[in-house]
Amino acid sequence: MVKLKNIFVLALFLISIGGVSFSTACSKDKKGKEMVSQQTGEHGMPADWKFTMPHGDPVQGRKIFVEMECYKCHEIKGETFSAVGGAEKGVGPELSEIAGIHPVEFIAESIINPNAVIDPEDKEKGYLGDDGKSKMPDYNNLLTIQQVSDLAAYLASLKGQKHAVH
Ligand code: HEC
């Protein structure tokens, strides 16, 4: 009789444990679903989603601009980089007013994927090679994502004279 009672208690105990773990599993499921349903737009992507760059440091970016010798092709008015002569001088656009023209993500894309946007005037300006592609070198194996963010942050800080009010 005593033994039977013990088995009964044990059974009750096991059922209650089972119940608890079952209910926690359920509530986890519920939470997961709630998180997904908070996002709007197609396939869980917010409707106003936009690619964002990680935070960049403009001071570091300027250093990288010098280390990578970006100034050889890109003049920046008001900056004092080493004097540039030779074939690369003026190969790329002057960048002192780029902040007034392009957002930081566009600037970053110009660095990691120079051919993503080719301006129709780029050819006349001598920015393209014979293959119709940008003369800008590929830095993707040389720069970390942080360095790209820093470079973009530096260039995005260049407001020039005309766009100084932005
Ligand atoms: C060999 C020359 C050359 C070097 C070196 C070079 N670029 Fe360029 N860059 C170009 C040319 C040509 C263009 C214009 C065509 C294009 O948009 O790719 C350009 C375009 C850009 C643009 C877009 C400008 C705009 O108004 O749309 C950015 C930003 C830029 N370069 C950043 C850099 C950075 C940062 C470096 C160094 C890591 C660098 N470039 C090194 C040739 C160069």
Structure tokens at 22: 């079952």
**Ligand 1 contact, 53 CB (< 6 A):** no
User: Residue 41 has what pLDDT?
Assistant: 73
Whose C-alpha lies nearest to ligand 1, atom 17? 114
Q: Is the Cβ–Cβ distance between 32 and 121 less than 8 Å?
A: no
**Ligand 1 contact, 92 CB (< 6 A):** yes
User: Which phi and psi angles does 94 have, rounded to 5°?
Assistant: -70, 140
What is the distance between the alpha carbons of residues 46 and 54, in angstroms, rounded to a whole number?
A: 19
Cα(92) to centroid(ligand 1), Å: 5
If the chain, 166 residues long, is cut into consecutive pieces of 10 residues, what is the mean pLDDT of each piece? 53 47 45 52 85 95 96 92 76 91 94 93 92 94 98 93 47
* Contacting residues for 22 by C-beta, under 8 A, at least 6 apart: none
User: Which phi and psi angles does 137 have, rounded to 5°?
Assistant: -70, 165
User: Residue 129 has what pLDDT?
Assistant: 93
User: Residue 161 has what pLDDT?
Assistant: 59
User: Residue 13 has what pLDDT?
Assistant: 46
Structure tokens at 127: 């920015």
